[in-house]
Amino acid sequence: MTNQLDSLRQFTTVVADSGDFATMRTYQPTDATTNPSLILKAVKLEENRELVQKVIADHGGASASELASQLLVAFGHEILKIIPGRVSTEVDARLSFDSQASIERARQIIAMYKRAGIDRERVLIKLASTWEGIQAAKVLQAEGIRCNMTLLFCLPQALACAQAKVQLISPFVGRIYDWYKKDAGDKWDEAARSGADDPGVQSVRRIYDYYKAYDIRTEIMGASFRNIGQIRALAGCDLLTISPDLLEALASDNNPLERQLDPANARNKAPEWQASNEVAFRTELNNDAMATEKLAEGIRKFAADAIELDTLIGKARG
């Protein structure tokens, strides 16, 4: 009997949102995504101690930031031994408002992968969807370095990414859901705001419909899920990056799973074309309290995890 994970694979590329090698082997995703929080978690596992020590031994004279990048690449390299597709490796969130520094760090990461024998086509560079991050991605894409724009919470961010011709965007679902649930407080109605009515799901559908209606080639990868219902409601999205616990939930469910997002349907209800430039981006982002707050919060959290990773590496190198 076909389970929901296998059904999902028929119309959506399944991506593992994890730095755990065992998860990759168990669920056999096509691609994998990592972020500072996931790598920090993976670094703390005893089973990865040997890999961490090898990176430190091989690059003993490297700076803290370079050593952190080497560690991210080492995890990415191991993941690519398991999966057939691409791995996403994130630029330090502390560079989210510095285009040139983000470009330079991305080039360094790609060079590290090249020295490890990994072709750049198998790597996506993750950047925060700030204006500066998007402009960095525009430069990198022109150089043939493919980018995955993360911490994306609204259509204006997605439009700017499309103009930059980025390879892939990762609109978040769960963090949008979190914001609206917290904002509603005691008035939150879980049943009424689930499935297709989930605010995070609605945000991704809005972006999907716009992209498909105007034949924008940038891939859309729904991310940051809180429950299996959000995934079901986005079946048909180009890609979905899913945590290990939700991959397990899908694999354990044999109920039918139907496609919910379809390019043909999106073209039949084409939304109004919207201009995108820096002024529009900053104005519309500022007008969206949820997107503004969650973008800032996400950058702070990833930056804090990057600092903790630096500290762990420093202790490990002695």
- Looking from the CA of 27 toward its CB, the CA atoms found within 13 Å total 34
Q: E strands within 61-146?
A: 87-90, 123-128
CB atoms within 10 A of CB 273: 10
CB atoms within 10 A of CB 247: 24
Catalytic residue among 44, 126, 187, 212: 126
Q: Is 126 a catalytic residue?
A: yes
Residue 223 phi/psi, 5° resolution?
Answer: -145, 170
Q: Which two tokens stand for residue 106?
A: 């991305």
Q: What does R_g of the chain's alpha carbons equal in angstroms?
A: 19
Burial class (CB in 10 A: 0-12, 13-18, 19+), 295: buried
CB atoms within 10 A of CB 272: 6
Residue 225 phi/psi, 5° resolution?
Answer: -100, 145
Give the C-alpha separation, 150 to 275, whole Å: 22
Whether 144 contacts 128, CB under 8 Å: no
Cα-based distances in Å from 202 to 17, 32, 35, 195, 314 = 21, 24, 24, 9, 43
Write out the catalytic residue numbers.
Answer: 126
